[in-house]
Structure 1
Amino acid sequence: MKKAIYQSFVELSGNRFNSYLLKAFTESKMSKVINKSFVKVYNLNEAEMEKPLHQYGSLQELFVRNLKSDARVIDKSLDSIVSPVDGILADVGQITENCTFHVKNQDYSLVEMLGNKNRAEKYKEGTYIILYLSPSHYHRIHTPVSGTVVGKWALGNKSYPVNELGLKLGKRPLSRNYRLITEVRLNNGKHYSLVKVGAMNVNSIHPTFTGDTVNKGDEIGYFSFGSTVVLLFEKDTIDLDPKVKIPMDVQVGMKIGSF
């Protein structure tokens, strides 16, 4: 019962007024009273939290918590591509020559997701990877591979559920929800895009990186509610790690592929 209530809190509202009320509550000092219950229900690992539980003054502070500096190990292999988030690697596949991919019985258009045809065609016949974050996960977003930021833009003005049910029943939420997109040029000249998809409203995605050069493992932002990351790689850029299975749990810094 408690878990169902929490899930309704963090995943199941696309209504701006409801989102405002939820945001106001989770940021209030009153919400601190449910922190201990939240930790228990979602089995959060207190040992890896940056601060003791009692020092988080609200549910929101707990949700966007940092971890201890040694809690995640970033794979240092020069050719590795790592998971940018803690979450579930929910799907992976090839983008078609028409710049589309298929998830949960829906076709997604990269033109719609990225905003124009030129951006989309760069990833024709490339690879997509979808990572879903539940309320139980650490919600900071990191860089999967080093490179130079060549573009940052936002699209969409609503956010519907991106959980299992939302992906099945919603109308293309990955490409219609509010989303922040970061495009990075790799040292080999190829590109990848990291699409951060909001699950609540425009305030649910918070960038923290402002530079031009990103190093693998750098934090670039965080979600204030559960959400989804879509990685897009150009054709012949990435080979998936043989250990990758669908679905599977991943953590920040875990190798998921290589050049």
Structure 2
Amino acid sequence: MTSKTLKTEIYYLERQTGEIIYEQIFAEKTLRLLYENYFGFIVFNYLLNNKTFCWLYGKYQDLPLTRSQINKFVRRYQIDIKETELPLKNYHSFNAFFSRRLKPNARIFTTESNIFCAPADSRILVYPKLTAETQIPVKSSSVTIAELLNCEKLAQIYRQGSALCLRLAPYDYHRFHFSDTGKALPAKYIQGKYHSVNPLALAKVCNIFSLNKRMVTEFISNNFGRIAYIEIGAFTIGSIIQTYTPGIVYKGQEKGYFQYGGSTLVLLFQPGTICFDDDLIQHSLEGLEVYVQAGNQIGKKNQIQS
């Protein structure tokens, strides 16, 4: 066993009902073996935590033979198939289902310009004001924005700003969207590792966000200033796919999607541009993630710009 005691259970708040939910950890036995077992962690780091293994695993999930996993996956995690764009029989592989689109209007983004909507189905934590050192707390440690962005100069734009962390479980809808209308610059790829982003892994390796491969997009929002979108890959993530075209984009427009595996989004905001909803601030102070869906209101435009 490792010398560090890890949290054995994970809970989050279902915002719509107010219920505290025990999270079913995808591939829990494997994840605990890799992160809670001393020898398992060594095997993971030397043999599995690399581009080649994750690419091969992603390609395997593209094969037609993986279609047999879909029905079992849907039943176990109670996925609402009434929302999916296609009938289950029309998905040619597990990866095709994993990165599924939803039916039109399954996720509604309000047209009110002062409302900031969640860009993805996820469990979120909000950070209304980052420290002068531009750090985002992650479990028992913290990650600097410069490390996250891989750019000290870009990090200064968000000094003492705000941050939003969105964690997607493997059974979530894995496409992400723009939360406002504005201009999106081309995404920049940052090479890195392939750690899981589950809280079990974050408890073991606290700087995963700055270690993993990721993509950074600078977005000049019409109503919320400059925003950095950071898509963070994870263990067995085959690819982070960008589907938008750089230039003018619109609120609710799809930005891209993750292929197989759990994953995380981090959004960084300039100081004084957004006011997160009070309930999210309070729960984040308690360390309790809140589940929201893409299009749900999570904040408002700060009417008094600092």
Q: Judge conservation of contact 1:81–1:145 (CA < 8 Å) in 2.
A: yes
Match of 1:48, SS state, is: coil
For 2:87 and 2:117, the matched residues in 1 are separated by 28
Q: Alignment RMSD, CA only?
A: 2.2
Question: Offset at 1:70?
Answer: 1.6
The code of the aligned residue for 2:159 comes to: K
Question: Offset at 1:78?
Answer: 1.1
CA deviation vs aligned residue, 1:207-250 (integer Å, no higher than 9, x gap):
11113112111101000122000010000010012343442111
Percent of aligned positions that are identical: 30
**1:56-205 → structure 2 map (5 Å cutoff):** 56-150=91-185, 152-187=187-222, 190-200=225-235, 203-205=238-240
For 1:169 and 1:161, the matched residues in 2 are separated by 10
Q: Judge conservation of contact 1:178–1:202 (CA < 8 Å) in 2.
A: no
Length-normalised TM-score, structure 2: 0.78
Question: Offset at 1:44?
Answer: 0.7
Matched, 1:253 2:295: yes
For 1:156 and 1:78, the matched residues in 2 are separated by 35
Name structure 1 gaps, 5 residues minimum: none
Match of 1:122, SS state, is: helix
Name structure 2 gaps, 5 residues minimum: 1-23, 35-47, 302-306
Partner of 2:264: 228
Question: Offset at 1:140?
Answer: 0.3
Question: Offset at 1:80?
Answer: 1.1
Partner of 2:273: 237
Equivalent residue in structure 2 for 1:15, among 41, 50, 56: 50
Question: Offset at 1:206?
Answer: 0.6
Question: Offset at 1:4?
Answer: 5.0
Question: Offset at 1:5?
Answer: 3.6
Q: Judge conservation of contact 2:128–2:275 (CA < 8 Å) in 1.
A: no
For 1:3 and 1:38, the matched residues in 2 are separated by 13
Equivalent residue in structure 1 for 2:73, among 30, 33, 38: 38
Q: Judge conservation of contact 2:138–2:206 (CA < 8 Å) in 1.
A: no
For 1:72 and 1:188, the matched residues in 2 are separated by 21
Match of 2:70, SS state, is: helix
Equivalent residue in structure 1 for 2:250, among 210, 215, 223: 215
Q: Tell me: CA distance 1:8–1:147, structure 2 relative to 1, closer, same or farther (3 Å).
A: farther
Equivalent residue in structure 2 for 1:47, among 78, 82, 98: 82
